[in-house]
Amino acid sequence: MTEPHWDPFNRDCPTRRLLDRIGDRWTVLVIGALAEGPLRFGELARRVDGVSQKMLTQTLRGLERDGLVDRTLYPQVPPRVEYELTHAGRTLREPLGALDAWARTHMSGVIAAREEYDRAV
């Protein structure tokens, strides 16, 4: 059996849908927050400044569906739920960390380019 041809430039390609998930703004921040260990929903919401409850819920559900985050419900009163990265989710720490390092290294140049562009338009 031959391996399927993946074309991430085709919107129906499964790899493109996964790249869309991983490249999402909230996904990157949630994975970064969970890289430090399991967190409850409220802790995640405080850690990821600016995310709405709805977007955090959608992001976590998508990450759980893709096998990148585990959701553990502890049957107690009141119920406690924790989220943590799966093995696959933890493997994203390195490439996302590289993107973070790139952004930190190049941020001053990006800011300068933005200011130059904004002056010109």
CATH number of the structural domain spanning residue 39: 1.10.10.10
For residue 16, how many other CB atoms are within 10 A of its CB? Answer: 15
Q: What is the pTM of this model?
A: 0.84
Distance CA(92)–CA(13), nearest Å, equals 20
Does residue 79 belong to any structural domain of this protein? yes
Q: So what's the pLDDT on residue 23?
A: 86
Comparing 15 with 93, the larger pLDDT belongs to 93
Q: What's the pLDDT at 45?
A: 96
Q: Note the pLDDT of residue 4.
A: 63
In a domain, 3, yes or no: no
Asked whether residue 110 is assigned to any structural domain, the reply reads yes
Q: For residue 2, name the pLDDT band (cuts at 50, 70, 90).
A: low
Q: Domain for residue 1, yes or no?
A: no
Decide if pLDDT at 1 tops 60.
no
Q: CA-to-CA distance for 90 and 70, rounded, in angstroms?
A: 11
Count how many domains the chain has: 1
Single out the residue of 43, 24, 114 nearest to residue 84, CA to CA: 43
pLDDT per residue as tens digits for the range 60-119: 999 999 999 999 999 888 889 999 999 999 999 999 999 999 999 999 999 999 999 999
**Residue 59 lies inside a defined structural domain of this protein:** yes
User: What is the residue range of 100's domain?
Assistant: 14-120
How far apart (Å, rounded) are the C-alpha atoms in residues 54 and 67? 20
Residues β-bridged to residue 82: 40, 72
Q: What is the overall mean pLDDT for the chain? A: 92
Predicted local confidence at residue 51, as pLDDT: 97
Measured CA to CA, the distance from residue 101 to residue 82 in angstroms comes to 28
Look up residue 76 and give its two tokens: 């107690």
102 domain-assigned = yes
Domain membership of residue 37 (yes or no) is yes
Give domain status of residue 9, yes or no.
no
- Is residue 89 exposed (0-12), middle (13-18) or buried (19+ Cβ within 10 Å)? buried
